[in-house]
């Protein structure tokens, strides 16, 4: 009787007998799996192991996470790279925070973002408004703050003595009067990983005029698998 692997390949009985010894000898304590990797039985149905995730190496004993639709793909094995976990029928997907999403699936990695898996990568749109509140007579020093119990930050009006601008009495060579500097806080980075940009409104310039300023930012580096997918797309 031939034993079939996840990818449809078959192993002869003598190979299975060598790999699957009876009785089973398993560790007393099950392994601690990384986030997104459940405990499953190995290919022999003997000991509990951590299921392999998308792009991770696999074989007959080290099985892939079938709950995510993954199979052990041996198509690249002849090239010497070994088998890896992939979607069945070469279906595209993406992995975010240890969880695999199918192509076209919409998900929320946080309350501030809504993302969609597309062609091995993902795109996100903010769920919080990125509005800018300019100073007014009744609110000369607006500031955006995180509110406990709420996902999106909100604007508040601070008292003047609590928000003293830096170098408030500095006089620009081009201005005959002191420029009282003012600026909003920098917005969240436009990219969840890799290089993006953040914006703010400020009058810290030679003309003391309100303008939108940008700067580069990086929340965290992109995982190697995601970086490769984005480069291909």
User: Hey, what CATH topology would domain 94-126 get?
Assistant: Complement Module; domain 1 (2.10.70)
| Total-model pTM | 0.37
pLDDT in tens, the chain (233 residues): 334 444 444 454 544 556 787 788 888 888 999 888 899 999 888 899 999 988 889 988 899 998 888 888 877 666 556 788 887 765 567 777 777 788 788 888 888 888 888 777 788 888 887 777 777 777 788 888 888 888 888 888 876 554 444 444 444 555 555 677 888 888 888 888 877 888 888 887 777 777 888 888 887 777 776 545 555 54
Per-state percent for the chain, helix, strand, coil, to nearest 5: 10, 30, 55
Q: CA–CA separation, 15 vs 24, rounded Å? A: 17
Domain limits, CATH 2.20.100.10, in the chain: 182-221
pLDDT confidence of residue 49: 93
pLDDT confidence of residue 165: 46
Collect contacts of 149-158 with beta carbons under 8 A, ≥24 apart.
Answer: 151/111, 151/112, 151/127, 152/111, 152/112, 152/127, 152/128, 153/128
Domain limits, CATH 2.10.70, in the chain: 94-126
Collect contacts of 169-177 with beta carbons under 8 A, ≥24 apart.
Answer: 172/206, 172/207, 172/208, 173/206, 174/206, 174/207, 175/207, 175/208
Q: CA–CA separation, 184 vs 103, rounded Å? A: 38
Closest CA to 180 of 196, 172, 194, 169: 169
Spacing of C-alpha 182 from chain mean position: 33
φ and ψ at residue 199, rounded to 5 degrees: -130, 160
pLDDT confidence of residue 64: 93
pLDDT confidence of residue 80: 55
Q: CA–CA separation, 144 vs 183, rounded Å? A: 11
φ and ψ at residue 108, rounded to 5 degrees: -125, 100
pLDDT confidence of residue 154: 87
pLDDT confidence of residue 35: 84
User: Hey, what CATH topology would domain 182-221 get?
Assistant: TSP-1 type 1 repeat (2.20.100)
Closest CA to 8 of 58, 54, 52, 71: 71
Domain limits, CATH 4.10.40, in the chain: 13-87
Cβ–Cβ < 8 Å for 114, 125: yes
SS3 category, 18: helix
Place of tokens 């953040």: 198
pLDDT confidence of residue 33: 92
The CA–CA distances, whole Å, from 142 to 154, 184, 203, 212 equal: 10, 8, 14, 16
Secondary-structure class of domain 13-87 per CATH: few secondary structures
* DSSP 8-class letter at 171: B
pLDDT confidence of residue 160: 57
């Amino acid at each position: 009787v031939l034993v079939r692997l996840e990818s449809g390949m078959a192993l002869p009985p003598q190979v299975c007998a060598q790999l699957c010894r009876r009785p089973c000898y398993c560790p007393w304590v099950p392994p601690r799996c990384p986030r997104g990797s459940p405990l499953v039985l190995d290919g022999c149905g003997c000991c509990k192991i951590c299921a392999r995730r998308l792009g991770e190496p696999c074989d007959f004993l080290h099985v892939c996470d079938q709950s995510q639709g993954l199979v052990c793909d041996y198509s690249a094995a002849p090239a010497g790279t070994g088998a890896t976990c992939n979607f069945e029928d070469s279906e595209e997907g993406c992995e975010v925070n240890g969880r695999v999403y199918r192509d076209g699936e919409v998900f929320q990695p946080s309350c501030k973002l809504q993302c969609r898996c597309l062609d091995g990568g993902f795109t996100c749109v903010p769920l919080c408004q990125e509005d800018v509140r300019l100073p007014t007579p009744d609110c000369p020093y607006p500031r955006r703050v995180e509110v406990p119990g709420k996902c999106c930050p909100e604007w508040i009006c601070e008292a003047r003595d609590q928000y003293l601008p830096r170098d408030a009495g500095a006089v620009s060579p081009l201005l005959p009067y002191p420029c009282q500097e003012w600026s909003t806080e920098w917005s969240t980075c436009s990219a969840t990983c890799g290089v993006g940009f953040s914006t703010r409104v400020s009058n810290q310039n030679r003309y003391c005029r309100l303008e939108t300023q940008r700067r580069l930012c990086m929340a965290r580096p992109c995982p190697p698998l995601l970086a490769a997918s984005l480069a291909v797309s």
